[in-house]
Amino acid sequence: MKSKDLICENLSVGENGRLLFAGHDTELLAKKYGTPVYLLDEDRIRQRCRTYLQAMKKAFGCKGKVLYASKAASFKRIYEIMNEEGMGIDVVSSGEIYTVLRAGYPLQNAYFHSNNKTDEDVSFAMENGIGYFVVDNEEELFAIQTEAERRNINQKILLRITPGIDPHTYMAVSTGKVDSKFGSAIETGAAEKITRLSLEQKNISLMGFHCHVGSQVFDSEVYLRAADVMLSFIADIKAKTGYEAKELDLGGGYGVRYVSEQPVIDIAENILSVGDFIKEKCMSLGILLPYIALEPGRSIVADAGLTLYTVGSVKKIPGYKNYVSVDGGMTDNVRFAMYGSPYTILPALDMNLPREMRCSVVGRCCESGDIIQNNVPLPDSIKRGDILACLTTGAYHYSMASNYNRIPRPPIVMLSANGNYIAVKRETFEDLTHLEV
Ligand code: LLP
C-alpha cells in the first residue's frame, strides 16, 4: 500500500526503501549534486501546464488563456519550458522581465503586474515590448500613458480591480478585502473612476480587468464568486460608459498539498465548472464572453519540487524536545518562518523504518525561528549524514531564498524521464562577495 505521505504521484519508494522522486533515486541525486539541493520534476511541470491549457480550451475555446505566475519560481529554464508549452506569463518586476528576455521568451505574451511599477520599470518593459501592463493605480496609469506617448505607441493594459472577496471567509464576508494594497476597489468607486480615466488616455488600450483573490485557495466557490462580481462590474461599466471589456483575468491561487490532510484539487473539473458559470452569467448579463485568463503559479510548480538536505546534529533534550538540524533552513525555505506553512519531511534513505521520534527539523541559521517544520515523525535512528526530503518545495522557495548568514543558495536540478541536469548552479562563496568593491 502506498504510504499516505507520498502526497504527489511523482513520489514512490524503491525496493531498497529509498525515496524516489520522478523515478530518480534521491540518495544518488544527493551524492551527485550535493545538498541542500532543489529538485524540480520537469515532466510534472509540463503536465500541469497541459492540464490548465486543455481545460481552458475546453471551457472557453480560443478565448482561454493561461499565464504562469512566475514569481513562484523565476529562472531562465522555467521560461523556456513555458514557451515550449505555449503558456503566457505573469511578471512582477524588471528583474523577472530581464530573466524572461535572457530565456528568449517573447515578452509580448507577458503581463506585468505589481502594485508599484517605477518609471524605470515602465520604460524597461515598454522598451522590450511587454504585452500588457496590469495597472494597479492612477499614478501608474499616468506614468504608462506618458511613456507610451513619448514612444508614440499604443499600450495594452488591464486594470487590477479589488472585487471585495475574502478567500477564506467567503460565505460569511462577501465584501471584505477592500483594504488590500493591490488594485482599485469596486465598492469605493475607485474601480469605476480608474476605468473612466483609462478610457480617456490617448495612448492606452484598455483591454479589460484583472483580479486575484488569494493564494493557496481550496474553496473553488471563491472563483465563482470572483467571476460573478467581475462580470457584473463589466456589465455595469458597459451600461454606464458603453465600454465592453474584451478580457477578464481571474488571477491565480489554486491550492496544493503540503501535507496529506490537504485535499487534492481537480483543476480541470474546477475550470469547467467556472467556465459553465461564466458563460451563463455573460448570457444573463447580455455581455459577450471575454477572453478569460488564469494565472497559476504555485499549482504549476509546487509539487514538482522537493528539497534534499543532509542531517547534521541530532539533539534530544529529554522531557522537552528533539531537534534534527539540516544543512539548509530558512535561507532556502522561509515559508514556515513566514506563514507557519505545514510540510511533509521524509527520511529519504529508508522509507520503511518506523518513524516514532517527533522532532523539529531546523536549519543552520543563527535564529531560533529558523525552523522548517515542527512535530515531524522521523526514525529514532536518524543521524548525521542521513538525507531528508522536504516535499512540495517547487513554488516560492528558490524565488524567496536569501543569503542570510552568508549561506549560498542551493542549485536547481531538473529531473525528467531522460535524466537530470542543472538549471541553476549552486552559489559559490565568490558569488557572495562579487558585488563588493
Ligand atoms: N496572480 C497574482 C496577481 C498574484 O499576486 C499571485 C500570487 C498569483 C497570480 C499566483 O498565485 P498562486 O497560483 O501561486 O497562488 N509567497 C507566498 C505566496 C504569495 C503569492 C503572491 N501572489 C507563499 O509562499 O505562499
Span 153-196, pLDDT tens digits: 999 999 999 998 877 643 333 444 678 888 899 999 999 999 99
Residue (of 185, 184, 183, 189) closest to 175 by Cα position = 185
Residue entry with cell 486543455:
54
Q: Relative to the CA of 396, which ligand 1 atom is closest?
A: 24
Q: Do the strands 247-249 and 204-210 form a parallel or antiparallel pair, or are they unpaired?
A: parallel
| Residues paired with 206 in a beta bridge | 157
pLDDT of residue 168: 66
For 29-69, give the DSSP string: HHHHH-SSEEEEEHHHHHHHHHHHHHHHHHHHGGGEEEEEE
Nearest-CA residue for ligand 1 atom 17 is 396
Q: Which helix (H) or strand (E) holds 249?
A: strand 247-249
Question: Full-prediction pTM beyond 0.85?
Answer: yes
Q: How many Å lie between the centroid of ligand 1 and the Cα of residue 354?
A: 37
Closest CA to 82 of 304, 239, 278, 245: 304
CB neighbour list of residue 28: distance below 8 Å, 6 or more residues apart: none
Closest CA to 294 of 328, 326, 248: 248
pLDDT lower than 70: segments of the chain? 1-2, 168-177
Tell me, in angstroms, the distance from the centre of ligand 1 to residue 297's CA: 6
pLDDT for res 180: 80
pLDDT of residue 2: 65
Separation of CA 254 and ligand 1 centre (Å): 9
Question: Which residue bears the cell 537530470?
Answer: 420
CB-side neighbour CA atoms (13 Å) of 41: 27
The DSSP 8-state label assigned to residue 77 in this structure reads H
Q: CB–CB of 190/168 below 8 Å?
A: no
Q: Single out the residue of 391, 301, 264, 247 nearest to residue 71, CA to CA.
A: 301
Residue 366 appears among annotated catalytic residues: yes
Residues with CB under 6 A from ligand 1: 69, 72, 90, 113, 212, 215-216, 251-253, 295-299, 335, 339, 396
Q: Which of 48, 49, 70, 71 to mutate to test the pocket of ligand 1 (most atoms within 8 A of CB)?
A: 71
